[in-house]
Structure 1
Amino acid sequence: MTCPIHHTENIVREEKAQLDFSKDMSYGDYLHLDQVLSAQHPLSPEHNEMLFIVQHQTSELWMKLMLHELQAAVAKVAADELPEAFKMLARVSRIMEQLVHAWDVLGTMTPPEYSALRPYLANSSGFQSAQYRRIEFMLGNKNPAMLKPHAHRPDLLAQVQTAYEAPSLYDEVLRLMARRGIAVPASHTQRDWTQAYAADEGVKQAWLQVYRAPREHWDLYQMGEELVDLEDAFRLWRFRHVTTVERVIGFKRGTGGTGGVSYLRKMLDVVLFPELWALRTEL
């Protein structure tokens, strides 16, 4: 019969051995938490600046994952590997949902609290986010003026420029449809990719062909709905951005020189995949 005292001592020794990470990689080592958690450097004496910094740093991390998924999804669409692309695009939509809820936390900052730290921000602004700009470009909202905020950083400018010059996700989907025998106008499968996408009646008719015979074109039909889900989530993200900014700063100009809320409201009118929304009236 095992002695209870010896049994307890064995358990304690085993637990100590399991909790000894001096030789093996630990959780913090794997995630480089020392670097991540020491990257917050408030410039003001204001308590609320930590919220402001963490909000934007975590948003940038989510956008890094979003770009990872979007780039892979575009490549899968170009290679006609749609099941993998569907999973990636669904994940992008869920990431956007996370970013929507992040605005709820920043919305706890009141106007006087933000006004107290605003002078310390100088001209820094989310408007200057290179990752966000790459996401906009990959989703088709091309604008050459949006390259200028990154001109001071050649490394970032090169990344943004690459996204600006490449076919967007929607461009690749339309090229896929053409390869499948759907009559997509050549003007939208062979064009200058640096130009903002313009809605086209011929493209709408191509999508109507898919949506009127979903069983015959099931994966293209599913792709259309994945894109609608994605834009739906993106619209919510933009809308919560506008309402949070208005709640915190009203109609003051943005720190990056934009019109603030007035500029953000204009962005709400941008439609990324217009034919997929327009066709619903005709079904």
Structure 2
Amino acid sequence: MGHDTVETPNLSFGRGGAPVRSTPYARYARLDELHSLQHPLGKEPAELSFIVTTQVMELLFDLVRHEWDIARRALREDDLPAALAALRRGTHAQDVLVESWGLLATMTPQEFNSFRSLFGEASGFQSAAFLHLEFLLGNKNAALLKMYDGMPGTQDGLVEALRSPSLYDEALALLARRGLELDAQPSEQRYRPSEEVASAWRRVYSEPEFAALQPLGEALLDVAERVTRWRQRHLSAVKRTMGGKPGSGGSSGLTWLRKSAEQDVFPELWTIRDEL
């Protein structure tokens, strides 16, 4: 025989030990599993777009959470460059998340209504990954944990997020350690704006002594602006596909979404803009 190399396929084994052809790429990204997770319940072609969009968003929620957790830890460790890098990576994921609503942009009410009844009371409002992000932003609400009573692992993770400092809490703690007069304490309640916090950010933007902290304020605003964009796109998508009907999970639909879209994230960073 010569010295030519004969390539053999990569094999994995399925049920009964039967070989299944695969590639390193497919195994690494677990593509067989990934592409087996879309199961429309009806015959409407647009339902597949709805399922894929939902799954893509869930993956992006996890990616954003990953970056925000890194940012929180870096802020706690006074590593501002690492925190800013994580927040920047997270904003790129947020941009994709916002644009993912475009996958549903052409869905008509007739198309949506043709399969809406098939998923019963399922609602994005029930997404644990989304709720985890809300808690990280400081939008905490312990009452929402009840819907996960039958999912102890999921509920435990959310309880930890509820009790832990939010991303904003860690940013404010860093400001205090850097010499700003601030006594903002982490809370298990929804964040409420305060003049003390506004005053601290005002000094960051107006006093040379604290100018090195301005990139943190701007990075947080980048995060906040994208959260608002996502909420606005959500509102627009729901208004287009189902109008003012109640949400499938029992929420008030447009009323709740509109209120959410109008709520500023990291509010003091917005209010001090009037004075700068």
Q: Percent identity?
A: 40
* Structure of greater Rg: 1
For 1:262 and 1:201, how far apart are their aligned partners in 2? 29
The 5 A counterparts of 1:80-95 are: 80-95=78-93
> Is 1:82–1:219's contact at 8 Å kept on the other side of the alignment?
no
Tell whether 2:224 aligns with 1:226.
no
Residue 129 (structure 2) aligned to one of 114, 128, 131 = 131
CA contact (8 A) 2:137 2:167 kept: yes
Q: How many residues align?
A: 266
Quick one: which amino acid aligns to residue 91 of structure 1?
A: R
Amino acid at match of 1:169: L
Unmatched 5+ stretches in structure 1: 1-9
Q: What is the CA RMSD across the aligned residues, in angstroms?
A: 1.9
Equivalence map 1:32-47=2 (5 Å): 32-47=30-45
CA–CA distance in structure 2, aligned partners of residues 271 and 125 of structure 1: 24
2:231 is aligned with 1:238: yes
Q: Distance in 1 between matches of 2:236 and 2:251?
A: 16
The whole-number CA distance in structure 1 between the counterparts of 2:212 and 2:227 is: 22
Q: Which residue of 2 aligns with 1:211?
A: 205
Alignment of 1:146-161 (within 5 A): 146-161=144-159
CA distance in 2, matches of 1:114, 1:262: 20
Instruction: Read off the aligned partner of 1:166 and give its amino acid letter.
Output: S
TM-score by length of 2: 0.91
Which secondary structure does the structure 2 equivalent of 1:216 belong to? helix
Which amino acid in 2 is paired with 1:127? Answer: F
The structural deviation recorded for 1:66 is 0.8
Distance 1:270 1:166 in 2: 22
Q: Which amino acid aligns with 2:227?
A: F
Tell me which residue corresponds to 1:69.
Answer: 67
Counterpart residue identity of residue 70, structure 2: A
For 1:216 and 1:139, how far apart are their aligned partners in 2? 28
Q: Is the deviation greater in 218-227 or in 73-82?
A: 218-227
User: Which amino acid in the other structure matches residue 32 of structure 1?
Assistant: R
- The match for 1:96 is 94
CA distance in 2, matches of 1:162, 1:48: 37
Distance in 2 of aligned mates of 1:87 and 1:219: 15
CA distance in 2, matches of 1:219, 1:54: 42
User: Which residue in the other structure is 1:247 paired with?
Assistant: 240
* Greater length-normalized contact order (CA 8 Å, ≥ 6 residues apart): 1
After superposition, residues 106-121 of structure 1 pair within 5 angstroms as 106-121=104-119
Is 2:68–2:86's contact at 8 Å kept on the other side of the alignment?
Answer: yes
The reply to whether residue 177 of structure 1 matches residue 170 of structure 2 is no
SS at match of 1:217: helix
Q: 2:193 aligned to 194, 199, 204, which one? A: 199
User: Which deviations, in whole Å up to 9, do the C-alpha atoms of 1:108-159 show, x marking residues without a partner?
Assistant: 2110000000110111010000000000000111112222222221111111
Q: 1:25 to 1:178 in 2, by over 3 A?
A: same
Which digits, 9 at most, give the CA deviation of each residue in 1:154-207, with x for residues without a partner?
Answer: 1111111111111111111111111111111x2x1x35x201111111111111
Hey, what's the Cα distance between the residues in 2 that align with 1:145 and 1:107?
33
1:268 aligns with 261
Deviation string for 1:203-251 (max 9, x for gaps)?
11111111012x5324311100000111001100100000011000011
Superposed, 1:1-20 pairs within 5 Å as 17=7, 20=9
Deviations 1:232-283 (A, max 9, x none): 0110010000001100001111111001111101101222211111111111
Residue of structure 2 in register with 1:50 after alignment: 48
